[in-house]
Amino acid sequence: MNCIACIEYIIVALMIISAILSVEWRDLLAAAVGMAAVSLFASILFFFLQAPDVAMTEAAIGAALSGAVFIFAIKRSYRYETEEEEKPGWWVRW
């Protein structure tokens, strides 16, 4: 197993962790940033898989444009978050 394969496994693990965290987070802004991180890690993975055109498209549209649209929509919405005591996520209860 070479060094590139190790880096690819680390990137896939970071993608999975970012996806799980963005689903579990209660704050919508943090979840949108988490989804942009998943897309950014996917673009890095595409670059390592010798697909630079797909990597650039994923970085531009998936990470930058979609992340900006999500963040803009969350900032424009009038959401009221309650100050409830937040229960720990499922990974803490293990």
Q: Determine, yes or no, domain membership for 81.
A: no
Is 69 within a domain? yes
pLDDT range class, residue 13, cuts 50, 70, 90 = very high
DSSP 93: -
Say if 87 falls within a structural domain: no
Predicted TM-score (pTM) of the model is 0.77
| 91 falls within a domain | no
Q: How many domains does the chain contain in total?
A: 1
44-91 pLDDT, tens digit each: 999 999 999 999 999 999 889 998 999 888 888 876 555 565 666 666
Name all contacts of 85-94 with Cβ < 8 Å and 24+ positions apart.
86/26, 89/24, 90/24, 91/20, 91/24
Q: What is the residue range of 29's domain?
A: 10-76
> Does residue 33 form part of some domain?
yes
Which residue type, as a one-letter code, is found at position 56? M
